[in-house]
Amino acid sequence: MTISMYQASVPRLANALRNLSNVLDKAQAHIDTKKLDANVFLQYRLFPDMLNFTRQVQIASDTAKGVVARLAGVDIPAYEDSEVSIEELKARITKTITFIEGFKPEQIDGTEDKDIVTKRSDKETHYKGMQFLLGHAIPNVYFHASIAFSILRTNGVEIGKRDYLGNP
């Protein structure tokens, strides 16, 4: 049986982002109920050399839209990384889900062996489509979503495994 690159990407990534958005709803409710400063959550890091909560959400979003765009052979939309509230982070997630769900299976399927090149500063990394999707992008989205989840849990937001997994 051949893997459907579309089924392995778009629905899985959209599900992870929806779950992250739902967790943000719980975070906002927690902040409102306890009358806390939301900025404390947005700037919180699990360790000083780690990125803050806002960047974790932004990177999960960027990775999801980036992999789908690369597989489909279209330009990756640029987001400004200017979110300063949970509401704005939720809007970013919604925009990302809308973007990735706008692709049809025929735009993604068959890209298992597509050459993918990523650039960071002056370094290029070369992948094949399936390797990039399954070995880099999906684990990266899950990593950043789980760090965001951990930051909220560390700060008392009552969330659990079911919130992270959602309804796959």
Measured at the CA of 56, the angle between CA 160 and CA 159, to 5 degrees, comes to 10
The pLDDT, as a whole number, for residue 1 is 58
Confidence of residue 26 (pLDDT cuts 50, 70, 90): very high
DSSP run (H or E) holding 115: strand 115-120
- Per-residue model confidence as pLDDT tens digits over 105-142: 999 999 999 999 999 889 999 999 999 999 999 999 99
- Per-residue model confidence as pLDDT tens digits over 48-97: 999 999 999 999 999 999 999 999 999 999 999 999 999 999 999 999 99
The pLDDT, as a whole number, for residue 21 is 98
Distance of CA 130 to the CA centre of its chain: 18
Please state the rounded mean pLDDT for residues 30-34. 97
Please state the rounded mean pLDDT for residues 26-32. 97
Quickly list DSSP for 35-96: T--HHHHHH--SSTTSPPHHHHHHHHHHHHHHHHHHHHT-PPPP------SHHHHHHHHHHH
Q: Measure the CA–CA gap between 146 and 94, rounded to whole angstroms.
A: 18
Report yes or no: 128 and 1 within 8 Å, Cβ to Cβ. Answer: no
User: Total structural domains in the chain?
Assistant: 1
What CATH number is given to the structural domain containing 124?
1.20.120.450
Confidence of residue 168 (pLDDT cuts 50, 70, 90): confident
Cα dihedral across residues 121, 94, 155, 139: positive or negative: negative
Full domain range(s) for residue 26: 5-165
**Higher local confidence (pLDDT), 124 or 2:** 124
Read off the amino acid at residue 71: L
The pLDDT, as a whole number, for residue 120 is 87
Of residues 88, 95, 86, the one with CA closest to residue 65:
95
The pLDDT, as a whole number, for residue 67 is 98
pLDDT at 167 over 90: no
pLDDT at 160 over 80: yes
The pLDDT, as a whole number, for residue 73 is 97
Locus of tokens 């959550």: 41
Report yes or no: 96 and 17 within 8 Å, Cβ to Cβ. Answer: yes
Locus of tokens 């399927």: 109
Cα dihedral across residues 107, 9, 6, 114: positive or negative: positive
